[in-house]
Amino acid sequence: MSTEPQFLSFKGLKQYTPEEGWGQVNAILQSHTQPASQAPVPENVPTLTEHADAQERSSPIFDPLINELFEQLRVAPSDELTQTWRTIAAEVNLLTQRMALQRELQERLLKLDQDLLDLRGNILSHLSDVQQAADQQLSSARLRAEVSALAQSKLAAKLTPKP
């Protein structure tokens, strides 16, 4: 490995050095590319591709804040949005299932309503048939009662002596 540190260069990316503080990566790269007589580069400067733990902690350029930053960069972020999207996806799946169940229940309810209407129609038809049969029986009973009354009066007239 060369004595020159390796940096990732992105627009807006900043680098912290204890001597200079926060600075643009491009400016730091330019200072490192100048001749060695102008700006000597220490050999134990941690880079973005190396672990800071590899450097000795007694090093004069060791900074615990930088170490913490590198640790945070190495650890995968616990993205709250990812968890929220997972929750949303699960709830959408549940909503889809419930909507399918609702459609099925509505179809069953419509079929049940139709069955109820058919049963009501059948019951009313049977009640109408019963009413007609009862009316016929009532008419027959009245007719029998009238015939019976007429027969009684005729028989009574024949059986009574004439004066």
pLDDT at 16: 74
DSSP label at 6?
Answer: P
The span from the CA of 96 to the CA of 28, in Å, is: 55
> Mean pLDDT, to the nearest integer, of 69-89?
77
Strands (DSSP E) contained in the chain are 14-17, 21-24
pLDDT at 88 over 80: yes
Per-residue model confidence as pLDDT tens digits over 14-69: 777 777 777 766 555 555 555 444 445 555 555 555 554 554 455 556 677 887 77
Sign of CA dihedral 4, 7, 12, 17: negative
pLDDT at 39: 47
Query: Between these two residues, 97 and 26, which has the higher pLDDT value?
Result: 97
Confidence band (pLDDT; 50, 70, 90) for 73?
A: confident
pLDDT at 37: 46
89: which 2 tokens? 């996806």
Q: What is the DSSP string of 108-148?
A: HHHHHHHHHHHHHHHHHHHHHHHHHHHHHHHHHHHHHHHHH
pLDDT at 143: 94
Confidence band (pLDDT; 50, 70, 90) for 1?
A: very low
Confidence band (pLDDT; 50, 70, 90) for 157?
A: confident
The answer to whether the beta carbons of residues 61 and 40 sit under 8 Å apart is no
Per-residue model confidence as pLDDT tens digits over 102-143: 999 999 999 999 999 999 999 999 999 999 999 999 999 999
Query: Between these two residues, 95 and 83, which has the higher pLDDT value?
Result: 95
